[in-house]
């Protein structure tokens, strides 16, 4: 009578599964050494790698794992037949949804994988020939946690952040309104609107980080409240300056509404000889309010209030950007798996130079006082080149603030496969450095970034012409 088992990966449990079938799935690689098995859906659980019969050659004569797990209970033949169809459907689901992460021994038997790289052509990525040093080896984890703020807002932090932010928004509103009224130049007023919104957001974000606020909803709510107060004070000051309203009554709501109604009729924001009024003026006001709130939200994020916080040491972590650079994932499945937190797959990608126009950048945040708060972020970096040869880098998070152990920092800082293939050799038109490049668009042109002088140039593979900024002065590479 064959024993029946359950398989658990992360929070998903599959079963019951016949012992012979389970051994076949282990041999096929569908069940991983890091998965757990048990004779009960409630445990106790044992790693597949810790059950020797599951790792020996499969046999059909008898159940190879009979009696190997504690407190095993078998099912009779009728129950076994009853669960046969359910078992087959379950394993089909496993094959569709689970992604096998091979261990180091199994990786040596894998065929080469063809990947498309950010800065060039597709190539074969061979398995690692030299194993990782012992201190860099890590055991694949079935579950990793992402950082999220604790939501703590100390009373002193609440009072300081609220009070300071509101005072800053009121002061900025006085300065902004006076500038807009006495300097009626459109493009200068737009810049003033930008500074007004950025100033409010900077005040909120700076005080929240200084006072150790770990609640994003509170920070954004404070920023929105500060914007509303600032805009209201702006209208009050407008009433005071334009309509000579006494200081005490200029902050009354009825006075503010009367000023808005008067400006709606008479107009403001002169364009040529006529003043903008009516619906057109309302559109201008709505656009102004939207810009103030948007700029405030943007500047709040610049202050890093979403940065991981070490609750053990009551301090913000420090982030080191670009500890490692890798090529993009070769397929959507790998990309999706990394997004879900299986960051061990990063070691299967290829190391590339950070000067590639498209790559993955690995950042690591650590607490400088302890070794219990370590987080890894994987970002996709894309550099676009304008016609005037200026470059702009855009970042999008692939995996954000995934918790890692202290002994894994070195692994992720050095993970990745060494690229042993070579492509065409081009001479940098700026410094003369000979560069091995990848061909990404053989029927068009590719953009390359010289790692020696940090200048950009384009290569047209059809005509063989190299385009570059001829009046540019080569720069010294960062070492």
- 167 CB-near residues (< 8 Å, 6+ apart): none
- Widest Cα–Cα separation across the chain: 100
Segment 295-345, tens digit of pLDDT: 999 998 887 667 899 999 999 999 999 899 888 887 788 888 888 888 888
User: What is the residue-wise DSSP string for 465-478?
Assistant: -EEE-TTPPP-PPP
Nearest CA to 360 out of 322, 411, 304, 405 is that of: 322
- Look at residues 428, 431, 434, 478 and name the one whose alpha carbon lies nearest to residue 458: 428
How large is the average pLDDT for residues 59-70?
A: 45
**Buried/exposed code over 318-327 (b: 16+ C-beta within 10 A; e: otherwise):** ebeeebbbbb
Per-residue pLDDT band for 271 (boundaries 50, 70, 90) equals low
pLDDT at 94: 44
pLDDT digits (tens, 9 = 90+) for 406-463: 889 999 988 887 765 566 788 888 888 887 777 767 777 777 777 777 788 888 888 8
pLDDT of 101 reads 37
pLDDT digits (tens, 9 = 90+) for 183-226: 888 889 899 999 999 999 999 999 999 999 999 899 999 999 99
pLDDT beyond 50 at 118: no
> pTM for this structure?
0.59
Segment 462-468 shows an average pLDDT of 84
Beta-carbon contacts of 29 under 8 Å, excluding residues fewer than 6 positions away, are 100, 102, 106
What confidence score (pLDDT) does residue 472 get? 63
Find the Cα–Cα–Cα–Cα dihedral 144, 146, 147, 151, rounded to 10°. Answer: -120
**Residue 265 binned pLDDT confidence (cut-offs 50, 70, 90):** confident
Could you report the per-residue pLDDT of 341-382, keeping only the tens digit for each?
Answer: 888 888 888 887 766 677 889 999 999 999 889 999 999 888
Distance CA 374, CA 309 (A): 10
């Amino acid at each position: 009578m064959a024993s029946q088992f359950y398989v658990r990966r992360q929070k998903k449990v599959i079963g019951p599964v016949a012992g012979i079938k389970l051994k076949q799935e282990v041999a096929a690689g569908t069940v991983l050494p890091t998965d757990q098995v048990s004779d009960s859906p409630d445990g106790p659980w044992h790693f597949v790698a810790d059950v020797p019969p599951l790792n020996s050659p499969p046999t059909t004569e008898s159940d190879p794992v009979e009696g190997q797990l504690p407190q095993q209970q078998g099912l009779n033949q009728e129950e076994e037949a009853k669960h046969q169809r359910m078992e087959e459907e379950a394993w089909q689901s496993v094959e569709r949804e689970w992604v096998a992460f091979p261990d180091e021994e199994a990786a040596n038997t894998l065929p080469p994988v063809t990947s498309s790289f950010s800065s060039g052509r597709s190539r074969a990525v061979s398995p690692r020939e030299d194993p990782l040093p012992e201190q860099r080896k890590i055991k694949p984890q079935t579950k990793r946690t992402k950082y999220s703020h604790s939501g703590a807002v100390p009373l002193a932090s609440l009072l300081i952040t609220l009070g300071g932010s509101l005072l800053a928004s009121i002061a900025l509103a006085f300065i902004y309104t006076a500038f807009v009224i006495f300097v009626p130049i459109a493009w200068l007023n737009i810049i003033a609107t930008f500074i007004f919104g950025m100033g409010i957001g900077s005040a909120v974000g700076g005080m929240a980080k200084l006072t150790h606020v770990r609640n994003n909803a509170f920070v954004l709510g404070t920023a929105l409240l500060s914007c509303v107060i600032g805009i209201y004070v702006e209208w009050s000051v407008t009433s005071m300056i334009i309509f000579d309203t006494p200081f005490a009554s200029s902050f009354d709501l009825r006075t503010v509404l009367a000023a808005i109604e008067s400006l709606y009729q008479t107009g403001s924001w002169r364009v040529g000889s006529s003043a903008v009024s009516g619906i057109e003026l309302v559109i201008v006001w709505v656009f102004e309010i939207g810009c103030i709130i948007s700029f405030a939200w943007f500047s709040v994020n610049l202050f890093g209030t979403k940065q991981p916080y070490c609750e053990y040491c009551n301090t913000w972590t420090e982030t080191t950007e670009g500890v490692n650079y890798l090529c993009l994932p070769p397929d959507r499945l790998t990309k999706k798996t990394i997004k879900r937190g299986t960051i061990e797959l990063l070691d299967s990608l290829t190391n590339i130079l950070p000067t590639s126009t498209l790559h993955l950048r690995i950042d690591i945040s650590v607490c400088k006082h302890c070794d219990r708060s370590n987080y890894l972020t994987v970002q996709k970096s894309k550099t676009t080149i304008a016609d005037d040869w200026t470059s702009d880098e855009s970042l999008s998070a692939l995996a954000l603030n995934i918790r890692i152990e202290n002994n894994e920092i070195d692994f992720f800082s050095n993970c990745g496969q060494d690229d042993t293939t070579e492509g065409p050799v081009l001479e940098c038109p700026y410094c003369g450095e000979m560069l091995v490049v990848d061909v990404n668009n053989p029927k068009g042109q590719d953009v390359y970034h010289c790692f020696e002088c940090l200048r950009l140039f384009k290569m047209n593979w059809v005509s063989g012409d190299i385009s570059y900024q001829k009046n540019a002065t080569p720069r010294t590479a960062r070492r």
